[in-house]
Amino acid sequence: QVQLVESGGGLVQPGGSLRLSCAASRSIFDFAIMAWYRQAPGKQRDWVASITSGGATDYADSVRGRFTISRDIDNNAVYLQMNNLKPEATAVYYCNGKTINRDYWGQGTQVTVSS
């Protein structure tokens, strides 16, 4: 069974930075796409950023230029560097791995941007 475990969330002031980590129990290459999503209370789970098995990245317009997704193949890890955080970024952030058969999800890590 594939497991994805997020870490690195916490409380940060507006304008601050956090780096989220996603540790996978299998090679990142097992997934066509690794991605980060976020979900605020009462809201839908929204896509934030993704990276393909070939290393191509993409970002939601709301975070482009401030967030960076990256990976460490040897350590089966995906990261999300979040800079210049805004209060609207407050949400539970989820790691997602997409295969042909199904999507895998972590349990999420809470990010709170507040003064």
| pLDDT mean by block of 10 residues, the chain; 115 residues | 95 98 94 97 97 97 98 97 98 97 96 97
Looking at residue 1, what is its pLDDT?
A: 78
Question: Taking every pair of C-alpha atoms in the chain, what is the biggest distance, in angstroms?
Answer: 42
Six token digits for residue 7: 């870490």
- For residue 88, the 8-state DSSP code is G
Of the CA atoms within 13 Å of residue 48, those in its CB half-sphere come to 29
Looking at residue 61, what is its pLDDT?
A: 98
Looking at residue 33, what is its pLDDT?
A: 97
- Cα separation, 16 vs 4, in Å, equals 26
